[in-house]
Amino acid sequence: MNRRLRARVLAVAGYLPARTVTNDELAERVDTSDAWIRERTGIRERRIAAPGELTSDLAAEAGRRALERAGRHPSDVDLVLVATSTPDNTFPATATAVQRKLGIGQGAAFDLQAVCAGFVYALATADSLIRSGLARCALVIGAETFSRILDWRDRSTCVLFGDGAGALLLAAEEQTGTILDRGVLAARLLADGRHYEELYVDGGPSSTGTVGHLRMNGREVFRHAVGALAGSAREVLEAVGLSPVDLDLFVPHQANLRIIDAVAKRLGLDERQVMVTVDRHANTSAASIPLALDQAVADGRLEPGMLVLLSAIGGGFAWGSVLLRW
């Protein structure tokens, strides 16, 4: 038999800041309404980090919970990979702040920046490092404090995002080399920099020396998102000879309920196969998929052995899909 090293998921956990901000509360600050936000996005509320609560605080708490659930110790971890576009500081990597907060002093730690596709990129990267033997136990975290880069006077963007973090603990495991294996089975990562200006932050260390604010051409992003998500989802399934009907759960990036519905329709998925948390979390960028996985486990919708597809798109544009067996 063809033995093969796989990156298997040991546990998932999420962390959301305590403060909930409703659409009505936002309507007191900008010219918007609960009805508009719900109808156009499906969002009801989002969490916002407390003053002084950093991306690494959210990330470390999600990571701590994942380790606890897996019954593992920080000394087991030899890779901390944080997908974020809202790092604590320009450098060092937020992943090293997470290491410090969890008491991890060994292995590698770095951040990965692929905006809303960050978690899918990070998971595929951790999978590659595990399969190549460079890591054996990886804490892969998506963590964001987008509230810090929003223009709170711009109603077209400030209503869409929220803060949070989610973590997956993965470990190397020899398996049979078939699609019945548990862990990451296939991945597809894509980007097209011609769309750089459709979704970006108008500041940065090298350009303005400031942090900047998020700017987005929402309609253009929407238009590309549906085709890109459905396309990469199909490609990753076809790569292992499967199709959407085989999926137990589809966990797309949570940006907009209309995008999720349109992608699900293109893939011919049933509502029961699709995970939705955008109503409660809004768009938490790189944190949205691991937070949705955590919710799926809590809801009893995700159990060991299930076939799960993750798909995300964000600024760049960067997008991709990861297929795994839970």
Using CB under 6 A, list all residues that contact ligand UT7: 32, 36-37, 40-41, 116, 155-156, 159, 199, 218-219, 221-222, 225, 253, 255-256, 259, 283, 313-314
Q: b/e per residue, 71-96, with b = 16+ CB within 10 A?
A: ebebebbbbbbbbbbbbbeeeebbbb
3-state secondary structure of 144: strand
- Spatial strand order of the sheet with 318-325 comes to 183-191, 318-325, 307-314, 249-252
Q: How far is the CB of 41 from ligand UT7 (least distance, A)?
A: 5
Cβ closer to ligand UT7: 82 or 116?
116
Cβ closer to ligand UT7: 94 or 311?
311
Q: How far is the CB of 58 from ligand UT7 (least distance, A)?
A: 18
Cβ closer to ligand UT7: 4 or 224?
224
Token pair 């292995």 is found at: 107
The one-letter code for the residue type at 90 is T
Q: How far apart are CA 114 and CA 313, in angstroms?
A: 9
Q: Which of 116, 195, 213, 256 is catalytic?
A: 116
Report angle CA 308, 48, 154 to the nearest 5 degrees. Answer: 100
Nearest to 203 by CA among 150, 137, 127: 150
Residue nearest to ligand UT7 (CB): 218
Cβ closer to ligand UT7: 15 or 200?
200
Q: How far is the CB of 152 from ligand UT7 (least distance, A)?
A: 12
278 CB contacts (<8 Å, ≥6 apart)? 41, 42, 43, 254, 255, 256, 257, 260, 288
Residue 285 phi/psi, 5-degree rounding, is 50, -125
Q: Which of 137, 195, 213, 253 is catalytic?
A: 253
Q: How far apart are CA 44 and CA 106, in angstroms?
A: 41
Q: How far is the CB of 248 from ligand UT7 (least distance, A)?
A: 24
Residue 253 bears catalytic tag? yes
Q: How far is the CB of 115 from ligand UT7 (least distance, A)?
A: 7
Residue 116 bears catalytic tag? yes
Cβ closer to ligand UT7: 70 or 282?
282
For residue 253, the surrounding DSSP H or E stretch is none
Active site residues: 116, 253, 283
